[in-house]
Structure 1
Amino acid sequence: MTAARFLVVFDADSTLIRNEVIELIADEAGRGAEVAAATEAAMRGEVDFAASLRSRVKELTGVPVASFDRVKSRIEPTPGVTTLIDAIHAKGGLAAVVSGGFHEILDDIAPALGVDLWRANRLAAAQGVLTGEVDGPIVDAAAKREWLTCWAAENGVPMSRTIAIGDGANDLLMLEAAGLGLAFNAKPAVRAAAPLVIGPVDLSQVIPLLP
């Protein structure tokens, strides 16, 4: 296998896409406002991410799996995302996503945007509706860092040639571990801690930083 020249790992919600997917799913249960407030607190780092995610997913109990198509139709890719991913590929790099969101949505969105590798949480379902539980280990801050380092090793990329891009407190560990960590569309605590902040909500602004 030929080694990639570099690796760019994105967060998904509010980074790769403009939305917070859990809020869109919660809308299907009429609980969007409550879940949005809890998500905002988690992204600011005010509460433990895993505990917050479990409590927010519990609010999704009873949402039909069939409603995912409606959720997907509401997804808005972040401006500049395909331009950036095309540039990553043109320069011999890989584009990856690691998300505290959900495979049920990302499995369609990621390949449509040209993403090469992705990992997210899974929602448990039974008889066509969500059970309100996460299926399997939670993708939290530590897991995001682990996937960054794992993908780099698997593809022959030194950590010095990795870039991580995220907006929330659960992205901070991977931003610190990457060769270059970029706070994008980020919460105040993340802007304060990240090595570099991208101001405009336009991912094409990252292109000049590619190795």
Structure 2
Amino acid sequence: MTAPTEFAPGLVVQGFAPPLRLRDFELIAFDMDSTLINIECVDEIADAVGRKAEVAAITEAAMRGEITDFKHSLRRRVALLEGVTVADMERVYTERLRLNPGAAELVAACRAAGLKTLLVSGGFTFFAERVRAELGIDFVRANVLELRSGPHCGALTGRLLPQCWGDICDGAEKRRTLLEVASLLGLEPAQCIAVGDGANDLPMMAAAGLSVAFQAKPVVRTQAHVAINQGGLERLLEVVRP
């Protein structure tokens, strides 16, 4: 890539000369936690059983790229969620989860320009499906938390359920999902935009024609075509015009 340039305050671009046109792209893929939404859901769920600090430390190390085995790190964190109830997760959703500034505006602009939208998350379907519905996103892939059956039903077991596509949505799966959806739509990777904030987003960002780091970890900012370091997600529209 060419050297990064501050296109506007808090908005850095590298590897191309802006502005681009949104209509030159056909698919945009978003990470969820700390990208479309303001929290890391796994950390907030852990707060219900007094383990937020322990879980958040693992999350931070994974997002910074200091832990390279995302699957192992996620299993460690999910194991610490054993006993959390569906009611606890409902409270996280209603009391703590908010869309990040500009998320709704950016998704709406993309939809208006004819792009398909994809949410691909290392988080959980409990939240991802709701965010999908709220924003009108076309496709979603995330992890499924296992619930106890029997007398203790409605509480987490501390495990994830395998799905038809695999066991855990990590960085490699995010990349594969982006390319799979693009292929199903008859698109080339160059027609895709990928937006994320953590190290596990880098594989899909590297596969896309345009990569966007939103309020991201340093390892992600330095590798993205666009880094939004101040303001909301709608600032992408300053670089990629509707």
TM-score range, shorter chain: over 0.9
Q: Do 1:44 and 1:188's aligned partners in 2 also have CA atoms closer than 8 Å?
A: yes
Q: CA deviation at 1:210?
A: 5.5
Q: How does 1:169-188 map to 2 (within 5 A)?
A: 169-188=199-218
Task: Provide the identity percentage.
Answer: 47
Report the counterpart of residue 36 of structure 2 in structure 1: 16
User: Structure 1 residues 201, 31: closer, same or farther in 2, change over 3 A?
Assistant: farther
Inter-partner Cα distance in structure 2 for 1:155 and 1:178: 15
Give CA deviations for 1:66-88 in whole Å, capped at 9, x if unaligned.
22211111211010011111100
Q: Do 2:25 and 2:192's aligned partners in 1 also have CA atoms closer than 8 Å?
A: no
Report the counterpart of residue 162 of structure 1 in structure 2: 192
Q: Do 1:82 and 1:114's aligned partners in 2 also have CA atoms closer than 8 Å?
A: no
Q: Do 2:103 and 2:234's aligned partners in 1 also have CA atoms closer than 8 Å?
A: yes
Question: Which secondary structure does the structure 2 equivalent of 1:194 belong to?
Answer: coil
Report the counterpart of residue 70 of structure 2 in structure 1: 49
Q: How does 1:33-112 map to 2 (within 5 A)?
A: 33-47=53-67, 48-73=69-94, 74-112=96-134
From 132, 141, 158, the counterpart of 2:158: 132
User: For the aligned residues, what is the CA RMSD?
Assistant: 1.5
Which amino acid letter does the alignment assign opposite residue 33 of structure 2?
D
Q: Do 1:78 and 1:201's aligned partners in 2 also have CA atoms closer than 8 Å?
A: no
Inter-partner Cα distance in structure 2 for 1:67 and 1:169: 28
Q: Do 2:124 and 2:145's aligned partners in 1 also have CA atoms closer than 8 Å?
A: yes
The TM-score normalised by the length of structure 1 is: 0.94
Q: Does 1:122 align with 2:148?
A: no
Which segments of 5 or more consecutive residues in structure 2 lack a partner in the other structure?
1-23
Give CA deviations for 1:31-57 in whole Å, capped at 9, x if unaligned.
111111110001011112111100000
Q: Do 1:5 and 1:157's aligned partners in 2 also have CA atoms closer than 8 Å?
A: no
Q: Do 1:11 and 1:165's aligned partners in 2 also have CA atoms closer than 8 Å?
A: yes
Give the ranges of 4+ consecutive aligned residues of structure 1 lying more than 4 Å apart after TM superposition. none
**Which has more radius of gyration?**
2
Equivalenced residue count is: 208
Q: CA deviation at 1:5?
A: 5.7
User: Structure 1 residues 191, 5: closer, same or farther in 2, change over 3 A?
Assistant: closer
Give CA deviations for 1:127-156 in whole Å, capped at 9, x if unaligned.
211000111110001000001001111122
User: Structure 1 residues 130, 210: closer, same or farther in 2, change over 3 A?
Assistant: farther
Report the counterpart of residue 4 of structure 2 in structure 1: none
Inter-partner Cα distance in structure 1 for 2:81 and 2:43: 10
Question: Which secondary structure does the structure 1 equivalent of 2:117 belong to?
Answer: strand
Question: Which secondary structure does the structure 2 equivalent of 1:193 belong to?
Answer: coil
Q: Do 2:25 and 2:193's aligned partners in 1 also have CA atoms closer than 8 Å?
A: no
Which segments of 5 or more consecutive residues in structure 1 lack a partner in the other structure?
none
Question: Which secondary structure does the structure 1 equivalent of 2:49 belong to?
Answer: coil
Question: Which secondary structure does the structure 1 equivalent of 2:27 belong to?
Answer: strand
